[in-house]
């Protein structure tokens, strides 16, 4: 009896190289072609979004796998988005692995010389060193996790816990967001974002630097995504806290996503105003639920629950690979302040 599936092609001759200008059309075609059996089916990526990714404030890492026996056909891809992270009194780079795929006929399970493992090793080797990427992380598919654990020294940081709450239907009309005294909607972040992050960062062992460059690139300049920026200021106009909202999909389910949350722990009244604003955004967008990721050690994790949020399985595992033993998965689980802002999934 013959197998339905052809045997995997040899990967020994596959060329791994960095992305170059001129690769755009073939890469977009491969990323958006469902028949190519990507590691995970993601939403379609436009040329504008690819350009936006390549213009990441801290650079970008993209590697391609090409088959010379098929005229250099693109058969695999891996990208990483590096973020400036303040950790242990120094700035480092944490890079999110994103968008990886290997064409189905080139997969070889857990083979050490498999295309996905080779893509990862090439990326790691070219971006290590003193100024290189300190930690790689991601929210993998089961296949990516098996490969990462067996071949690439990835560890599970946490089984991600989501905070979810049904949006109260109190009859607030569209536009009611503007009627919440003390709350504002704004178009762009300015230098005060860094002031706010500085006030909060003393309680973090590690956190991406949330300055205007990072936040505007992530939430304002990203094409094809509409985010609501909510802020609370004091009587002198100083930003005391912010939240970012959009309707999006997590694990195939449409929901109101709290994409970022930054509020000093000793200002619960600021958090209460922002939660009212998030409810209003969700109602205006006809979303029935708010969805948020916060580290369990943050005081806000407990305060969200006291505000009616339920802690549930987010259906994702956060994994990471550190180049320093003392900054292992346990350290990241108990020290790293991360939200949905730290992933390009949404």
pLDDT at 10: 60
Beta-bridge partner residues of 62: 79
pLDDT at 130: 58
pLDDT at 106: 86
Q: Whose CA is closest to 243, among 166, 324, 186?
A: 186
What number of other Cβ atoms are within 10 A of residue 157's Cβ?
A: 23
Q: Which domains does the chain show, CATH number per domain? A: 15-153 (3.40.630.30), 160-320 (3.40.630.30)
This prediction has a pTM of 0.90
Per-residue confidence of the chain (346 residues) as pLDDT tens digits?
A: 444 445 456 666 899 999 999 999 999 988 887 444 333 444 678 899 999 999 998 888 999 999 999 999 999 999 999 999 999 889 999 999 987 888 888 887 555 678 988 999 999 999 876 578 999 999 887 878 888 888 889 999 999 999 999 998 754 544 556 578 889 999 999 999 999 999 999 999 999 999 999 999 999 999 989 999 999 999 999 999 999 999 998 877 889 999 999 999 999 999 999 999 999 999 999 999 999 999 999 999 999 999 999 999 998 899 999 988 889 999 999 999 999 999 998 8
pLDDT at 173: 46
Euclidean distance between CA atoms 334 and 304, whole angstroms: 18
Euclidean distance between CA atoms 81 and 95, whole angstroms: 5
* Concatenated DSSP letters of 61-95: EEEEEEEGGGTTEEEEEEEEEEEEEEETTEEEEEE
pLDDT at 39: 39
Query: Torsions phi, psi of 271, nearest 5?
Result: -60, -40
Burial of 301 (0-12, 13-18, 19+ CB in 10 A): middle
Residue 278 contacts residue 307 (beta carbons within 8 Å)? no
pLDDT at 35: 43
pLDDT at 168: 84
């Amino acid at each position: 009896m013959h197998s339905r599936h052809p045997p995997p092609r040899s990967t020994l001759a596959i060329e791994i190289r960095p992305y170059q200008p001129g690769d755009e059309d073939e890469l977009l075609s491969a990323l958006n072609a469902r028949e190519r059996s990507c590691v995970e089916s993601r939403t379609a990526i436009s040329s504008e979004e690819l350009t936006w990714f390549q213009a990441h404030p801290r650079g970008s890492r993209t590697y391609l796998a090409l088959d010379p026996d098929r005229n250099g056909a693109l058969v695999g891809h891996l990208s990483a988005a590096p973020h400036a992270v303040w950790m242990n009194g120094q700035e480092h780079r944490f890079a999110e692995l994103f968008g990886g795929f290997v064409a189905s006929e080139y997969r070889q399970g857990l083979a050490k010389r498999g295309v996905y493992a080779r893509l990862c090793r090439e990326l790691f080797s070219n971006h290590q060193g003193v100024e290189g990427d300190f930690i790689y992380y991601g929210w993998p598919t089961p296949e990516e996790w098996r490969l990462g654990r067996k071949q690439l020294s990835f560890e599970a940081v946490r089984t991600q816990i989501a905070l979810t709450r049904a949006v109260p239907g109190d009859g607030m009309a569209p536009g009611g967001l503007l009627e919440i005294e003390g709350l504002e909607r704004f178009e762009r972040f300015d230098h005060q974002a860094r002031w706010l992050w500085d006030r909060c960062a003393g309680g973090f062992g590690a956190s991406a630097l949330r300055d205007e460059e990072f936040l505007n690139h992530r939430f304002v300049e990203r094409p094809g995504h509409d985010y609501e920026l909510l802020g609370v200021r004091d009587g002198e106009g100083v930003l005391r806290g912010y939240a970012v909202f959009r309707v999006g999909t997590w694990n195939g389910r449409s929901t109101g996503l709290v994409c970022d949350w930054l509020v000093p722990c000793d200002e619960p009244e600021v958090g209460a105003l922002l939660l009212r604003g998030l409810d209003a955004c969700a109602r205006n967008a006809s979303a029935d639920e708010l969805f948020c990721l916060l580290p369990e050690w943050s005081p806000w994790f407990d305060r969200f629950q006291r505000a009616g949020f339920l802690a549930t399985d987010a259906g994702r595992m956060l994994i990471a690979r550190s180049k320093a033993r003392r900054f292992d998965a346990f350290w990241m689980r108990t020290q790293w302040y991360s939200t949905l802002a730290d992933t390009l999934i949404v």
